[in-house]
Amino acid sequence: MLFGRVQVRRPEKSLLLTGLRGVGKTVLLNRIEQMALAEGFRTILVEAHEGKPLAVLLAPHLRHLLFDLDRVKAAGNKVHRGLGVLRSFIGAIKVKVGDLDIGLDIEPEPGSADSGDLEVDLPNLFVAVGEAAQERGAAVAILIDELQYFSTEELSALIMAMHRMQQRQLPLVLVGAGLPILPGLAGDSKSYAERLFNFPAVGPLPEADAARALQDPVRAEGVAFDLDALHEVFRLTQGYPYFLQEWGYQAWNHAAASPIGSDVIRATSELVSQRLDENFFRVRFDRLTPREKTYLRAMAELG
């Protein structure tokens, strides 16, 4: 729906999916990319990292996109201008982040996105890209995972860029995903963020959906879980997608026959817990500060 509205130049809020680790944000983001592609959008899907600047992350993809648009035959010079703006944008961030050679043999557009201030340059760059897309009758979806890793300045620049897209009704949408701190971060950096974005919360699955997540894949192989087994997995996982995945995986490997009963679930629970402790909880625990570990222990002791 978002994609359809953007194509016909109706204003629509961009989406920022938020949820805890392992609830399925990345899976959803990939699915949304497929939906955008099916609607005829060009897509860019990137994942933010600690210590990787937004500009460096996006520039190569925007270059690729503009070259791609250049192959669509239409009158006008906006694509060429877009490349020039990208070129000057890269020139400006080079000063800050060191060499970024993405091979762009094009004259820069002086004064368009090279102030060195991301909150000015990124919106200008997005406008140039949006206008290029519009000229070629195309629409663009930029999908960014782990958005919370960006700095306040980068988030703010991104929000301002999307503000400009909306004001000018350019065919460029943003779909992001991040931890639940994201709306707060976005709100801190720009108070009008809430008017630009929807923040759908991604959480645990309801029991019926959790059952389908387990049942559909095994059904495709001619196997089934019985109802007790499904209840038992839901009781243990509370519909948390990553845990469903783990219990489903072990149950599948240990079941000798179909239907898979709750006895199989109980027999594998020990192993699943062990695997979660060694992997899922381990990596998260290791990243905590000593005081956070103490805090966790205190909470755990309260049951």
Residues making contact with Mg ion (CB under 5 A): 25-26
- Spell out, one character per residue from 49 to 88, where the chain touches ligand ATP: x when CB under 6 A holds, - when not: ----------------------------------------
Distance CA 1, CA 7 (A): 10
Q: Amino acid identity of 259?
A: P
Q: Residue 53, Cα to own-chain centre: how many angstroms? A: 16
* Whether the Cβ atoms of residue 88 and residue 108 lie closer than 8 Å to each other: yes
User: Taking CB under 6 A as the rule, does residue 241 contact ligand ATP?
Assistant: yes
26 binds ligand ATP (CB under 6 A): yes
**Residue 257: CB minimum distance to ligand ATP, A:** 24
Specify the residue for token string 């990939």: 30
In the list ligand ATP, Mg ion, none, the entry touching 245 (Cβ below 5 to 8 angstroms by class) is ligand ATP
Secondary structure (3-state) at 273: helix
Among 242, 259, 269, 275, binds ligand ATP (CB under 6 A): 242
Query: For 105, phi and psi rounded to 5 degrees?
Result: -90, 70
Contact between 24 and ligand ATP (CB under 6 A)? yes
By the rule CB under 6 A, 21 interacts with ligand ATP: yes
233 binds, among ligand ATP, Mg ion, none (CB under 5 to 8 A by kind): none
204 is a site residue for ligand ATP (CB under 6 A): no
Q: Does position 143 bind ligand ATP by CB under 6 A?
A: no
**Contact status: 213 vs ligand ATP (CB under 6 A):** yes
Size of the residue set binding ligand ATP (CB under 6 A)? 14
CB neighbour list of residue 283: distance below 8 Å, 6 or more residues apart: none
Q: Which of residues 157 and 244 has its CB atom nearest to ligand ATP in the complex?
A: 244
Token pair in block for residue 150: 């960006």
Contact partners, residue 153, CB within 8 Å, separation at least 6? 118, 119, 189
Confirm or reject binding of residue 186 to ligand ATP (CB under 6 A). Answer: no
With CB under 6 A as the contact rule, the residue among 245, 258, 269, 273 that binds ligand ATP is 245
CA neighbor of 16 nearest in space, from 5, 35, 30, 29: 29
Other CB atoms within a 10 A radius of the CB of residue 110 amount to 10
Measure the CA dihedral 130/102/160/193, to 10°: 100
**Between residues 23 and 113, which has the closer beta carbon with respect to ligand ATP?**
23
Smallest gap from Cβ 160 to ligand ATP, in A, equals 26
Q: Taking CB under 6 A as the rule, does residue 7 contact ligand ATP?
A: no
98 sits in the region (left: phi over 0; alpha: psi -120 to 50; else beta) called: left
Residue nearest to ligand ATP (CB): 24
Pairing state of beta strands 197-198 and 14-18? parallel
> Could you list the residues that contact ligand ATP (CB under 6 A)?
19, 21-27, 205, 213, 241-242, 244-245
